[in-house]
Structure formats: C-alpha cells, structure tokens
Amino acid sequence: MVKCISKGVFGVVWNHDIDKSDQVESFVEDSPGCPSYETVHNFFTKIFTSKNLSAECAVTAAAYVDRLDYVSNIKLNHFNWRRVCFICILEADKVLRDKLVWNEDYKDLLPAIDLFELRKLERNFLKYIQFNLTLTQSDYARYYFDLLSLRDSSDIQTQQQLPLVTQQTEVMSTKTTTIEGGSAVLVVTNSNTTPKSARKSSWLQEVEKKEENKEENKQEKK
C-alpha cells in the first residue's frame, strides 16, 4: 500500500507547480524542485517502517490529503507535499491506534521541524479540513480501491487484499481522539449508506489525467 500512495502523491505533485508565496506557511518548506518517485516512496517507506504503520493508515492518510484539497482547495505540490503527507499520516495514526500517539513520537521523522512547529502544523491542518477527521465505511472503501487501482499488474492480486476492507470497517466505531492542545475531535463513524455514484479522489483523478496525457503524447508522436 505504501507503493500505491507514493504513486498517487507523486502524480499529484507532478501536476501542481505553484508559487511558494501562495501557500499556507506552516505547510511549506524549501524545495529543490519536483521530487522523484523514488524520493516520495522513500519518504513514505521510512515513516511506515519506523512506526510499523498499517495499510489502513495509508488509506486514511490518503483520504485526509484529498479532504484538504476538497475542503480548502489546498493541493499537493513540491513545496508542501512532505509536510502535508506527514501530518495526514500522523493524524491517521492517532485515529487508528488503540493507544495514545503523541506528536513527540513523530517529530524526529521530519527534518527541520521542532515540536512547536509540529503543533502549529497540526492546528493549521485541522483548521483547513474544518476539524473533520470523520471517515465512513463507504469513504474508506472508496479510497482503499482508489489506492489499489495504482498497483502494477505484477503486484499481489486485488482479490487477495479484499478482506482488509471488511476488517477495517467492522472495527470502525464512533470515537474521539485528543489533539495536543486540548481539543477533542469526532474521528470515525459507522455508516451503512453507500453513495450510488461516489466521486473519485481528486488525487486519483490527477494521476489518471497524467496517464491520459502520456498516452496522447505517444499517439501524437506516432
């Protein structure tokens, strides 16, 4: 699943080269330019390996990345992708873990950010998604299959991964998590309602657009 979310993030970052001055200050950092796929993949691998994070965490983090775009029109680009993805993973871990997860547990994983800046990053992230960390069963399933659609055909077959959706949605219940600073946020709800036509995640649409452009360029060359 790390490979899938890495592909998705790389595809979105590649399509958005935005002026640094237009960004939310706490989200941005100096950047040498658009990262390579290897850079993105190594970033996710380091975090998921060091914290022993689950595939469920990748799915939830992907949902939060999309929600930031959908709610506040903040898209991933080469200035903000690292911090945005980092805070989405941290919040996803806080939601899914049975034990408390503290910002201090994560602060050493992101270079050039101290605990004060991390708390500021968290507060701004929550503000821009309107303090909504809710993820329904249908939301989870949609992002799960969006991520799986980015797998190579040589990877593990989708059918072997299907039980993960059921396992995750069965354990979802209404709960709260304490964000450092004192505010409690409703994070997960059960829902039996599945939309007849669920929208694809915005970052998946960007990846598909990139692939379509590549195919069009190939056709033009022919």
Q: What is the pLDDT at residue 55?
A: 94
pLDDT tops 50 at residue 149: yes
Work out the angle at residue 44's Cα, subtended by the Cα atoms of residues 40 and 50, and round it to the nearest 5 degrees: 145
Name the β-bridge partners of 188: 175
Q: What is the pLDDT at residue 170?
A: 42
CA distances (Å), 184 to each of 10, 51, 64, 173, in order?
A: 32, 23, 17, 16
- Using the structure block, give the residue that is written with the tokens 């915005």: 202
Distance (Å, rounded) from C-alpha 175 to C-alpha 136?
A: 12
DSSP string, 68-92: HHHHH-----TTTHHHHHHHHHHHH
Q: Model confidence over 161-217: pLDDT tens digits?
A: 333 443 444 444 344 444 554 443 434 433 333 333 345 666 566 666 656 666 666
For the chain, percent of residues with pLDDT exceeding 70: 65
Range among 70-74, 86-90, 133-137, 152-156 rated most confident: 86-90
Handedness of CA 118, 184, 198, 137 (dihedral sign): positive
Instruction: Yes or no: say if 17 and 42 are a contact pair by the CB < 8 Å rule.
Output: no
Instruction: Yes or no: say if 1 and 146 are a contact pair by the CB < 8 Å rule.
Output: no
Average pLDDT over all residues of the chain: 77
Q: Which of 7, 16, 20 is nearest to 75 (CA)?
A: 16
CA distances (Å), 212 to each of 110, 131, 183, 202, in order?
A: 34, 35, 43, 15
CA distances (Å), 205 to each of 41, 182, 201, 202, in order?
A: 20, 36, 6, 5
Q: What is the pLDDT at residue 204?
A: 63
For the chain, percent of residues with pLDDT exceeding 90: 48
Joined tokens for residue 216: 């069009």
pLDDT tops 70 at residue 8: yes
- Phi, psi (rounded to 5 degrees) for 196: -65, -35
Instruction: Yes or no: say if 80 and 128 are a contact pair by the CB < 8 Å rule.
Output: no
Distance (Å, rounded) from C-alpha 218 to C-alpha 139?
A: 35
Element (H, E) at 220: helix 202-221
Element (H, E) at 184: strand 184-188
The separation between CA 167 and the C-alpha centre of its own chain, rounded to angstroms, equals 20
pLDDT tops 80 at residue 67: yes
pLDDT tops 80 at residue 81: yes
pLDDT tops 70 at residue 109: yes
pLDDT tops 70 at residue 142: yes
Q: What is the pLDDT at residue 161?
A: 36
Q: Model confidence over 14-44: pLDDT tens digits?
A: 887 666 556 888 898 887 788 999 999 999 9
pLDDT band at 155 (very low <50, low <70, confident <90, very high): very low
Q: What is the pLDDT at residue 24?
A: 86
Q: What is the pLDDT at residue 172?
A: 42
